[in-house]
Every structure is written in structure tokens, then in C-alpha cells.
Amino acid sequence: MRDLTPDATLDIRGQVCPMTYVRTKLKLETLEQGQLLEVLLRGEEPTRNVPRSAREEGHEIVAQDAEPDGTVRLFIRKAGG
Amino acid sequence: MLTEAQILRYSRQILLKDVGGKGQERLLRSAVRVVGEGTAVQTAVSYLAAAGLGVELPERSVGAGEEGFLARKADVGSALSAVRTTISDLNPDALGGLDDPAVLASARAYVFDPAPAFALGFRGGLGVILWRTRAGCARCFELNRSGLSDGTADAHSVALGTLAALCVERVVLGLGEPAATGGVTLAEDGRTELLTLELCAEHR
């Protein structure tokens, strides 16, 4: 596990597409530019789509780590603008 | 702040890059006051109501040719309360806060009002959507509106109303830095173009 200290954490393991990115996007809106959001997600589709959507909106994917229980920890740094 | 029900209802709009949660909140704070009638206006109203904007309807009856998205054939001649019920069923948010509404009008029915305005009409076979923001020129707007006629209950009018709803949302959200006074045309084949405005003496 990487040593990253998020400014906020969002657990969307119980959500399905498209609400996975809707929740992520709304959470990112509450952060300041450059802050780090940790997203806990599960499943192939959100693992593929959430980072892709975040990148498309200009955010930086800092890390993406899979845990033994199937949880994926995604770290997104909020873009400016 | 969006409620959980609103997050679910507007999720597809929130996903749009230029809307998001903040844009959706802005749409929910915005409203249109409807002036006039016709298929284009009713279509625009139905999409704006669905998008979360407040809608204020005139006190009148449902006119012939207005059946469609919001009114059934059986509603023609009856009070607009039937349409209000339809809008309320479509989205209860649309009958909410109506502070400072913009005017959404059929071209012939528009009368000057200092509020931001959108006028829908036709000229030379083209559908036309004109808008004027608070910073826009009322004379330029009037010069272009006065040459428009109202449409009929056809597919072109439905398409114009759909495009008008998008124009209202773009102006409300400030997307693409819309001109303070501007317009677009919609051809019958679906092509859209920015309207070259006739300008008043001050802006020529």
C-alpha cells in the first residue's frame, strides 16, 4: 500500500454505473484544486470507467491499488479550473 | 445543495463535463416565464422542466395544435392546469422557485421585458431562436424578433423547441461564452447555424 494521505475518501463499492462517477464527480467538486481524493471501488466496470472519466475531465490518477478483498483504492488529484 | 433524490434524478446531466453538481444547482435556481403558445414553446418547456428549471405558465387555455409533450388532445380548450399537472408529474422541481425568471416566448407574443429573453419563431423556412441576456441589447433583439412568425404544430417546431431548451441551458450555465444578444437557426434538415444578427444603429 502506498503512503498517500488523501484529503477525502469516498466509498462507492455499493454503487453501480453511472452513479459511481456521479458520486466521484460530486465529491471532487467539494475539494480544492490539487487536493487528493481516495475512492474505494469494486468491480471491473467502475475500475475501468471511474479513472477514465476522471482523466477525461482533466484530473490526475495518482495511484490505483488492488486489495486482497477485491477493493480498488483509487487516488485522484483534483485538477484546476 | 442537491438532495439525494435530485442526484439520482439529474445524474445524467451531472455527468456532463460542463454541468456537474454546481451546474445542476444553477439550473435548479433558474426559471423561465412562458409567454405565448405553440409547439416549439411547449416542447422547450417540457425539456426545461425535465432539466430542473422552474416553469411559470401563463393563465390561459390550452390552444389547438398544442397537444404533444405536455397536453393531450382532450386538454385542448381546457385550462392550463392540465399542463401543470403534467409538468408536476414530469418533475416536481419545475414548479418550485421562480425568482427572477427569464422569458421564454413565441416570437409574436413577446412583449418587452427587462428580464433575459428567448424568442422562438420562423423566418424563410428556418426556425430561429433568439436570446438576450441581461447584458444584451433590447433593440437588436427586437429588430430580429419582429421579422419572425410563429410556427405550426409540426416536427420542425418540435425540433426548434428541443434546441431552444439547450440554448436556454447554455445561456444559464454560460457555456461557450454565449453572445449577450444572439441567435441560432435550425433548418428543416436539422442543420444549425449561428444567426447573423441585424444590428441596431448603436451596434452597427
What does the pLDDT look like over A12-28, one tens digit per residue? 999 999 999 999 999 99
Determine whether A35 is an active site residue: no
Say how many residues make up chain B: 204
Q: Kindly tell me if the per-residue pLDDT of B171 is higher than 80.
A: yes
Q: Which residue has the higher pLDDT, B66 or A39?
A: A39
- What three-state secondary structure class fits B134? coil
What pLDDT is attached to residue B73?
Answer: 82
Question: How high is the mean pLDDT of chain B?
Answer: 91
Neighbours of A49 (CB within 10 A): 17
pTM of the predicted protein model: 0.90
Q: Convert the pLDDT of each residue in B91-115 to its tens digit.
A: 989 986 667 899 999 999 999 989 9
- Is residue A81's pLDDT more than 70? no
Residues of A in contact with B21 (CB under 8 A): 25-26, 29
Q: Which helix (H) or strand (E) holds B105?
A: strand B102-106
Instruction: For A19, name the nearest residue in chain B, comparing CA atoms only.
Output: B11
Per-residue confidence band for A1, with pLDDT thresholds at 50, 70 and 90: low
Is A56 a residue whose pLDDT tops 80? Answer: yes
When scoring A10, A29, A30, A57 by the number of chain B Cβ atoms within 10 A, the one with the most, hence best to mutate, is A29
Contact A18 B15 (CB under 8 A): yes
Provide the grid cell at A6.
Answer: 488523501
In this complex, do B15 and A56 lie within 8 Å of one another by their Cβ atoms? no
pLDDT at A7 over 90: yes
A22·B2 Cβ contact <8 A: no
C-alpha grid cell, residue B25 = 444547482
